[in-house]
Amino acid sequence: MNPAKTLMWHLSPQVMLDLVEGARPDGAVPHLRTCERCRWQLEELRETVAAARTGQEIPEPSPLFWDHLSARVREAVAADTHPPRAWVSGISWRRSALVGGVIGLVIVVGAWQMTLGRRAPDRKAQEEVSVTSQMQFAENAADGQATTEGSFGFVADLAEGLADTLDWEVAEAGFTTRLGLVDGTVNELSSDERVELRRLLNEALAKPGA
């Protein structure tokens, strides 16, 4: 089979519309002479245009309607430029809700900023407070008096400590820790844990391609 015969480009919507509307004569498009499908489609479109023309008429309103429309427009334009109501009565409930929400947000953000401001200035003092807090929690725990408040404070301090060890500059690429931190952790392992760690490492290194 000859591929040139099977591969055929048909007329684009733009060209087809030009033909339907008479902007381009049929004779100016040689493709029409050879393509049955495009000829058939063109004929169909012309029939549709003729059918669409029958829908041209729409019910004509009463002659009085036009003056009525003009009067309505006149009133609407005049009302559009009426002085606004008192600003309080002019606020809709949606706008009120929006304003209320924004005010609430400002209060929350303000309170948060104040809290940060209170915590930020003295890093050393903060660390002292943190240590004191941990000691206090440890004492409370030992006494069996660990309170929810104490737990919360300890968790907060832990989070703060973790934050100190994180390298925030590369955090976007995935959290990481500082150099030397792994060595420190290994030193804190018990002898059994070290044996297990060694076994796991040897196992991993023994695998092909490791």
Number of other CB atoms surrounding residue 42 within 10 Å: 19
Closest distance of CB 90 from another protein, Å: 12
Interacting residues toward another protein by CB under 8 A: 13-14, 16-18, 20, 44-45, 47-49, 51-62, 65-66, 69-74, 76-78, 80-84
Closest distance of CB 64 from another protein, Å: 9
Closest distance of CB 17 from another protein, Å: 5
Q: Side chain identity at 80, as an amino acid letter?
A: D
CB of 74 or CB of 119, closer to another protein = 74
CB of 34 or CB of 56, closer to another protein = 56
CB of 51 or CB of 179, closer to another protein = 51
Closest distance of CB 84 from another protein, Å: 6
Three-state SS for 73-99 is HHHHHHHHCCCCCCCCCCCCHHHHHHH
Closest distance of CB 75 from another protein, Å: 9
> What gap in Å lies between CA 63 and CA 60, rounded to an integer?
8
CB of 62 or CB of 89, closer to another protein = 62
CA angle 181, 185, 191 (to 5 degrees): 155
In order, the DSSP letters of 89-158 are TT--HHHHHHHHHHHHHHHHHHHHHHHHHHHSS-HHHHHHHHHHHHHHHHHHHHTT---HHHHHHHHHHH
Phi, psi of 120 (to 5 degrees): -70, -40
CB of 16 or CB of 141, closer to another protein = 16
